[in-house]
Chain A
Amino acid sequence: MAAGLKTVILLSFVLAVGFLLIILSCALWHNWLPLLVAITFVIAPLPNALFSHCGADDFSGSYESTGAVDLGRFLTSLIVVTGFAFPIILAHSGVINTSACVMSIMGGGLVYGTILAYSQAFKQDESEFD
């Protein structure tokens, strides 16, 4: 469990750095629009988490994905791209600073990477109890 504990601590540090970057990108220029990036990346894993339970029933194999699972993946990809595209668009039209754009993209990437790494690192433990 020591490796798991180290993983949790490392991931929480990365998550904190990500949120720090996003909040700094808002607070340094007194423009709180990049905070939407944090919300976007936090809700990004939600469709997959919801729709992944729609796939498996007794009549279909576990490898066969249905329309609901596809919808969840589609929405996930859409939200992730939205999170990266939103600061770029704001910076392009001059609403936020360019460095604020870079900082919020990096922070959002760190937050989403943390969520992905967390779900990947602790998926093995859940599957043992199935």
Chain B
Amino acid sequence: MALPRSNYDPRRVCLNPFPDLHLDKYKRTVGVYIAGALFAIANWTFLDAAVYSAHARVPWGDEPPVHVTFVDWVPGICSLLGYLVVNLIDKDRIKGDEGFGDSRAVWRARLFLFIGFALMAGGLAGSVTILVLKYALNDYAEMFKYYGYANVTQNILLMLSAIVLWMAQSTNGEYEYNLTL
């Protein structure tokens, strides 16, 4: 392996570590841009389903059998709240360096991080639940199952955006830590 042996991090879990992102000072910029784009694509995917539902006209009937209601919005709102919570945390607190801050602050920061990720995972699970219970089990046409797929896509992309943003913001050159949680 071309990497020097001194780069070995004894805390890591995986055999292949996460890609070394702090090669360049533009990595952070590009990462933040990609995270914003993913965030926008996620929300517009769901809003597309909502607008499509509001304007849906079934060619053979008069009224579509199912609409996007408030229940469909709940997983996205959970994911958005989790996204906010995850990104409001001071990332230096999570590391828990000895002699930097007190341990209570580290504990609280980790609790907040857990709440944020739990909200995002809950949003993802809720979107899958809605896809299965509201759309897949009820034998609607494929154009109505798209609402459920859009919901799942929104939550997956929100989670991806959070991960990309986290990794992009962890690429300060002097503090060498990446996603080793």
Shortest Cβ distance from B169 into A: residue: A70
Question: B43 → chain A, closest Cβ, in Å?
Answer: 9
B36→A93 contact, CB < 8 A: no
Size of the B side of the interface (Cβ < 8 Å), in residues, is 25
A74→B36 contact, CB < 8 A: yes
Interface string of A86-123 (1 = CB under 8 A from B): 10111011110000000000000000000000000000
Which stretch, B26-34, B73-81, B94-102, B105-113, touches the partner chain A? B26-34
Cα(A93)–Cα(B34), bound, Å: 27
Complex contacts, B44 vs chain A, CB 8 Å: 81-82, 85-86, 89
Question: B152 → chain A, closest Cβ, in Å?
Answer: 18
- The majority secondary structure among interface residues of chain B is helix
Shortest Cβ distance from A82 into B: residue: B40
A65→B29 contact, CB < 8 A: yes
Contact of B39 among A74, A86, A89, A90 (CB under 8 A): A74
Q: Is B103 an interface residue (CB 8 A)?
A: no
A89→B32 contact, CB < 8 A: no
A93→B54 contact, CB < 8 A: yes
Cα(A114)–Cα(B177), bound, Å: 39
Asked if A93 meets B28 with Cβ closer than 8 Å, knowing A73-B33, A81-B41, A81-B44, the reply is: no
Interface string of A40-66 (1 = CB under 8 A from B): 000000000000000000000001110
Chain B, 35-52, CB within 8 A of any chain A CB: 35-37, 39-41, 44, 47-48, 51-52
Question: B126 → chain A, closest Cβ, in Å?
Answer: 23
Complex contacts, A88 vs chain B, CB 8 Å: 48
Q: Is A12 an interface residue (CB 8 A)?
A: no
Shortest Cβ distance from B51 into A: residue: A93
Interface-centre pick from B37, B47, B55, B168 (highest chain A CB count, 10 A): B37
A95→B37 contact, CB < 8 A: no
Asked if A63 meets B48 with Cβ closer than 8 Å, knowing A77-B33, A81-B37, the reply is: no
A sample of 24 inter-chain contacts (CB < 8 A) reads A65-B29, A70-B28, A74-B32, A74-B36, A75-B36, A77-B32, A77-B33, A77-B37, A78-B36, A78-B37, A78-B39, A79-B40, A81-B44, A82-B40, A82-B44, A85-B41, A85-B44, A89-B48, A92-B48, A92-B52, A93-B54, A93-B56, A94-B55, A95-B55
Q: List residues of A whose CB falls within 8 A of some B CB.
A: 63-65, 70, 73-82, 85-86, 88-90, 92-95
Nearest first, the 3 A-B pairs at minimum CB distance are A77-B36, A81-B40, A85-B44
